[in-house]
Each structure stands twice: as C-alpha cells, then as structure tokens.
C-alpha cells in the first residue's frame, strides 16, 4: 500500500472480511496520520477489538459511519490505532463495513456490549495463533473519539495487575466524568466461561459483570471516556451546525 493511503477499502463483493491473516495496516502506515509514531512497526503483540456493532438508538444512525475529520469515525479510530496493535478486529454485530479487517458477529443477539466482549474472548483466530500472546485482549468502543496516544499505548502494552482479571479506564479529577469506562480496557481470556454463564442467565449489565472480575483501573483524561451518544453530542464535538 502506498505511503499515506488509507486502510479503508471500497465495498466489494466480499462480506468485508479480510482474505489475509492479520490485516492491521501494519506495513501501510509509514506516511499515515495515526496519532502514534509513523514507524511502520507495531508496538504490541496484543489484538484490539473495536466495538462498533451497537444499535445506536439515541444517535439514530450507525456511529461508525458518522463523518469525522476527512473520513468516518471508523476510519479515524482505525488510522489512530493501526500502529499500536498486532491486529484490529471489528466487533460488528450483523453489520459488515467496507474495511480490510476481520469482522466478528455477536455471540448472542440483543445482549449488548457484553456479547461483543464474549465474541472477542472466544475469537477462534486468537486461540489458534502461536505468533503472539493471546491470553489478553484490548477492547475499545467506536464512539470514544478522543482517546489519546498515551491511552492507546496503555491498551497495547499495559499489564493487568496480579489479583485482577481486567484493567479498565477511569477518569482523573480534571472533568465532570466520574464513572469507569469498561469499554476501554484490557481483559484476560480467563473470564470467558464466567461471561458466557452470566449472559446465558439473562444478565446484561456491564457493571454487574465487572463486580465478578474485580478490575484494576488506570487513569485517563475525562474527555477520553466520554461516549458520543446523541446527535447533539456529535455536533458539539465536530463543530457541526
């Protein structure tokens, strides 16, 4: 791929799944604005799962396809993360996006973001690969456009402390946001069976499940964990009328 060329590809007859093994753009980033040093080398052997298949009920349209910068919000997030991770995988629900990345459907329908996390934890490719460490994964929601380079490095290289099974973001004291953001963090695959049991019991609360796994936290600026949930929030963020 030429220097500066986007990883986003036009629609084709395929479902949007890549034909390659690890389509991260890892050799494509020498001239690309990614928010990370344009070295053409990844900094981690961890996979990032981008959660982008939600219902977007309050927004009224697919958040991943919102115009953002010179492209879409999905393009913005991929280009920002591409140099940090071994692979980027889209947790896309029933959707397929015109990108050269693997897509994983939800494991259970109408089960919210935890269904996406379960799909990531059970990702067959991660369990089959011997090329990189697969006992942890990074998770990020598509609608967190202000995640910083420092936070991406934490997701890519951070270590879950002993005695915990996840490491999730929480806001520092600089803003009004006070709640932890479980859709920005690192998860150990050891929680897989417990999450499946939790969902099969009909439970859907993300924070309820967190109480079962005792996550550690790392600090980020409050703006980084603020979701773009509504049209008004989106227009404020992008200065659109």
Q: What is the pTM of this model?
A: 0.81
Query: Domain locations in the chain?
Result: 47-238
Contact between 206 and 113 under an 8 Å Cβ cutoff? The reply is yes
Contact between 82 and 156 under an 8 Å Cβ cutoff? The reply is no
CB atoms within 10 A of CB 132: 15
Q: Which fold has domain 47-238?
A: Spore Coat Polysaccharide Biosynthesis Protein SpsA; Chain A (3.90.550)
Per-residue tokens: 228:
């773009």
- Per-residue tens of pLDDT for the chain, all 241 residues: 333 333 333 333 333 333 333 334 343 333 333 344 444 556 788 999 999 966 667 777 888 998 888 899 999 999 999 999 999 999 988 889 989 999 999 888 888 999 999 999 999 888 775 555 579 999 999 999 999 999 999 999 999 999 999 999 999 876 555 689 999 999 999 999 999 999 999 999 999 999 999 999 999 999 999 888 888 888 888 886 5
User: What's 128-183 look like in SS3?
Assistant: HCCCCCCCEEEEEECCCCCCCHHHHHHHHHCCCCCCCCEEEEEECCCCCCCCCEEE
């Amino acid at each position: 791929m030429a220097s500066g060329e986007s990883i986003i590809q036009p629609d084709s007859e395929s479902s949007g799944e890549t034909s390659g093994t690890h389509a991260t753009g890892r050799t494509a980033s020498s001239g690309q604005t990614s928010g990370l040093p344009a070295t053409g080398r990844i900094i981690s052997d961890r996979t990032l799962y981008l959660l982008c298949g939600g219902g977007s009920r309050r927004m009224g349209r697919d958040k991943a396809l919102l115009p953002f910068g010179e492209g879409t919000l999905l393009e913005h997030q991929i280009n920002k993360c591409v140099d940090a991770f071994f692979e980027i995988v889209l947790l896309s629900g029933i959707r397929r996006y015109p990108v050269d990345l693997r897509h994983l459907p939800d494991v259970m329908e109408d089960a919210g973001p935890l269904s996406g996390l379960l799909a990531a934890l059970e990702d067959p490719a991660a369990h089959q690969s011997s090329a990189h460490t697969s006992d942890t994964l990074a998770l990020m929601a598509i609608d967190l456009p202000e995640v910083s380079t420092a936070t991406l490095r934490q997701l890519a290289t951070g270590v879950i402390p002993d005695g915990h099974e996840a490491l999730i973001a929480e806001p520092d004291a600089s803003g009004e946001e006070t709640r932890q953001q479980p859709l920005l963090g690192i998860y150990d695959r050891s929680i897989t069976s417990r999450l499946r049991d939790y969902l099969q019991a009909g439970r859907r609360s993300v924070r309820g499940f967190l109480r079962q796994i005792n996550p550690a936290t790392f600090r980020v600026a409050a703006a980084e964990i603020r979701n773009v949930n509504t049209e008004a929030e989106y227009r404020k963020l992008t200065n659109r009328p």
